[in-house]
Amino acid sequence: MTRILMVCLGNICRSPLAEGILKSKLDSSKFEIDSAGTSNQHEGSLPDQRSIEVASDHGLDITDQRGRPFTREDFKTFDYIYVMDTSNYEDVLALADTQEDRDKVSLILNKIFPGENESVPDPYHNSIDGFKQVYQMLDESCTVIAQELEKS
Ligand code: 4NP
């Protein structure tokens, strides 16, 4: 089993979309995908209604997901940790104990813009259009991730 974790700040807008999208592209008997937030502010919460709506527009149901904070334990559980933005990157790396932990973490948009260290914009204070744009970026990135994982 290969395990992949998607991380954002609240675990209600971006990473639940990334989790749902990547799940839809990979075989669940071989790949386990989860998401978490660097803050615990939305622990136990459903994804944001706008993420639920945009996912649903693409045939994905993400309403089984609940927010949870990222923990040090996640470095042991997961093989790949994709973060949405540069502050998530710093917050996750601050909890890493070893180089092996650090090597698991990367910015998800580097999959489609290699080496550019671009961030998925936080859509929380934006309109539904911001969520639609985030969905497209994550869909393209997850297509690349799924292709690479299926080859490995
Ligand atoms: P996310 O978006 O990190 O994509 O889940 C946010 C959700 C909530 C907050 C910030 C970002 N917040 O400040 O409550």
pLDDT tens-digit map of 105-128: 999 999 999 999 999 999 999 999
Alpha carbon of 103 to ligand 1 centroid (Å): 25
C-beta neighbour count of 118 within 10 angstroms: 15
* Structure tokens, 1: 């089993």
Domains identified in the chain and CATH numbers? 2-151 (3.40.50.2300)
User: Model confidence over 58-107: pLDDT tens digits?
Assistant: 999 999 999 999 999 999 999 999 999 999 999 999 999 999 999 999 99
Instruction: Please give the pLDDT value at position 146.
Output: 98
The pLDDT value recorded for residue 34 is 98
| pLDDT(152) > 90 | no
How is the chain split among helix, strand and coil, in percent rounded to 5? 45, 15, 40
Ligand 1, pocket-test mutation among 43, 52, 122, most atoms within 8 A of CB:
122
Active site residue 68: no
Annotated active-site residue 97? The verdict is no
- Kindly name the residue from 13, 14, 34, 85 that is annotated as catalytic: 14
